[in-house]
Amino acid sequence: MTHSTQTLKQEIHSETLYDLQFVGDPQVSPDGSKIAYVTTSINSKKKYDSHLFVYDRKTNKSTQWTHGEARNQSPRWSADGESIAFISNRSGKNQLYVMPVAGGEAHQVTTLKNGAANPVWHPSEAKLMFQTSLEEGDDLHNSEDEKKDEELKPHIVDQLHYKADGKGLLDNKRSHIVLYDSQTEKLEQITSGPYDHSDPSWSPDGSTIAYVRPQDDQPGSYMLADLYIQKLGQQPYRLNEKSGGFAKPIFSPDGKSLSYFGHGYEYEGATLTKVWVTNLNTNETTCLTESLDLECSDVLISDLHWANPSPGAVWTQDGQGVYFQGSEHGNTGIYYSNLAGEVTRVVGGDRHIYAFHYAKDTDEAIIGVSDPTHIGDLFTVSLENKQEQQITRSNDSFQDTYEIVAPESFTYQSKDGLEVEGWLIKPAHFDASKTYPLVLEIHGGPHMMYGNSFMHEFQLLASKGYAVLYTNPRGSQGYGQSFVDACRGDYGGGDYEDVMAGVDAALEKFSFLDEGQLFVTGGSYGGFMTNWIVGKTNRFKAAVTQRSISNWHSFYGVSDIGHFFTKWEIGNHFTEDPQKLWDHSPIKYVDQIETPLLIIHSENDYRCPIEQGEQLFVALKNQNKTTRFVRFPESDHNLSRTGLPNLRVERLNQIVGWFEDYKA
């Protein structure tokens, strides 16, 4: 009976993206009786709406608290539980609002011309701090509605870091922390100077804040970020003595210590994130995860759960330890460390815990959970007895309607004996008597990982009759420091052998795969690898390269991260060893490409700029190779995850259509 019901389910298609809901950012009320969270969906105009919902733990029901066509996000409870602050773009720009829990309209707190973000309530008073972008001399009371008729002017650049993906060309604005007093309704700028300030947190007595501030924009210093402590009304001081990249400072319950994430870039961009604690009286610093070969963050890739806010390393109520997210072997879980650095995983399983909020009073976590066959919902879990209760069912109708195929995990040995993990999704409505084409998917980063999270794209390909293979080659996170560092300086070497060995292992293990019907696609680093593969082998019938790198020489100067990422990952700047960069550039081998290649790129991609796709397309076309170039307007590097919904659907249609054109 189960098999019969399963086979009657519908096949997923590109437009089913519009039917999905994305649930995240859970926040427990101070008394533990309610849980606020955000649900994002796609409206009839093919735009995103995000709304606040509140789950009542007594009635076990959720109520929608915001409405209309808007993005409402970042709900945060006041210390007395009587108000919720949140960010909304209902006025046209992200601004800060406060809503009374007892009922009534939300009050718009800010009308700042550059908007507001990241609200954080004072631990005892009716005050909020938040972030906004300001230029020197800006008035906090300037309205977003104030417009100036300005003539076009040239954009003058003095800084090395002058553009960013998702933002475009940068200006002289800096992110500052502002304090709002709800009693007086006054705004007060707390931070100053030509620096960006982020991740603000309060000390327990509300007298002091901690935050993160990047170092000066100089060669070699980009990505370095320091921790600062600032008593209100006084000058800040830098906490960390060692330079590195640090984030998410949180005061201990007694205010005497600070937990945070970070590292010293010992392996540059491939360095594992660690958990640290500093005693604020003695400045003694301890790395709690020093003995643990673990990435202490969520680096699991999903096309549905992207950029959920990290809570940091959150303190237990007694201040004797911290909880944090960690990633290993294709899973993310919740880990606990005591102050002696003894670490245990307290919430695990073959799944993706993409959201996490800790309720100190009840010692429980509210978690967002996805796995390969479950799109994503919120659960409560007792951290003492590990009992879980599902509190949202946001996509039950979708999962009841469409066939979703569970992957099979396996490990295999690469050419040099390295063990690599992979997964294979069988085609929907699988028939063991038939053979099927195979699509190899290669993730970006490269220092991220595939694993046990729902991927709409993979399920779409399975519904179209393809088996889907995805692996974590060397350079991926989740398998320790040596593994994640192993591709640097060797792009297209051992990592290429890893993914090709994965194809061979899948063909040997799964007899229903058709060796003559192989396809490949990937984005960012996965796009680089797709370009590299088709320049090295003709085994694939067709390929789709997305937001790719084709030429490291030009990438060095045109990418928002090229001036440091090139050396980090390839081993040299182009001024130091141009031949090495050329040898690792897929465009060098364009004359060897015979595989039909679809090139997908976003017009506003500042991470892997569209000229990377342009170069490859022109070089292929000039040699009369089979290729097509699809350019997506108003889209950046994150088209597949956060792009305009209709363009995300069209991207999927282009990928499937290209493969269908070459499938036997």
3-class SS of residue 35? strand
Q: Which entry of 88, 182, 203, 524 is annotated as an active-site residue?
A: 524
Q: Which entry of 51, 197, 584, 637 is annotated as an active-site residue?
A: 637
Structure tokens, 70: 């808007």
Query: Which residue from 553, 561, 552 is spatially nearest to 528, judged by alpha carbons?
Result: 552
Half-sphere exposure of 68 (CA within 13 A, CB side): 9
Q: How many C-beta neighbours within 10 Å does residue 92 have? A: 10
Pairs from 31-36 (Cβ < 8 Å, separation ≥ 24): 31/81, 32/57, 32/359, 32/361, 32/362, 33/57, 33/58, 35/366, 35/378, 35/380, 35/391, 36/65, 36/75, 36/77, 36/84
Q: What are the helix and strand counts (H, E) for the chain? A: 12, 38
Query: Which residue from 381, 348, 377, 387 is spatially nearest to 454, judged by alpha carbons?
Result: 377
Query: Which residue from 480, 461, 452, 490 is spatially nearest to 580, judged by alpha carbons?
Result: 490
- Residue 314: beta bridge partners? 323
Per-residue 3-state assignment (H helix, E strand, C coil) for 632-652: ECCCCCCHHHHCCHHHHHHHH
Examine the residue annotation and report whether 447 is marked as an active-site residue of this protein.
Answer: no
3-class SS of residue 582? helix
| Backbone phi and psi for residue 531, each to the nearest 5 degrees, phi listed first | -60, -40
- Decide: residue 361, CB within 10 A, 0-12 exposed, 13-18 middle, 19+ buried: exposed
Q: Cite the DSSP H helix spans in 201-309.
A: none
Using the structure block, give the residue that is written with the tokens 């997506």.
632
Contact 297, 261 (CB under 8 A): yes
Q: How many C-beta neighbours within 10 Å does residue 147 have? A: 8
- Decide: residue 300, CB within 10 A, 0-12 exposed, 13-18 middle, 19+ buried: buried
617's enclosing H/E stretch is: helix 611-622
Contact 84, 28 (CB under 8 A): no
Q: How far apart are the first and last CA of the chain?
A: 34
Identity of the amino acid at 613: G
* Cα 590 to Cα 84: distance, rounded to the nearest angstrom: 56
> Is omega for the bond preceding 446 within 30 degrees of 0, making it cis?
yes
Structure tokens, 504: 């061979």
| Backbone phi and psi for residue 432, each to the nearest 5 degrees, phi listed first | -65, -15
- Decide: residue 633, CB within 10 A, 0-12 exposed, 13-18 middle, 19+ buried: exposed
Contact 467, 424 (CB under 8 A): yes
Examine the residue annotation and report whether 637 is marked as an active-site residue of this protein.
Answer: yes
* Cα 664 to Cα 658: distance, rounded to the nearest angstrom: 12
Contacts of 48 (CB under 8 A, 6+ apart): 40, 41, 42, 71, 645
Half-sphere exposure of 34 (CA within 13 A, CB side): 22
Active-site residue set: 524, 637
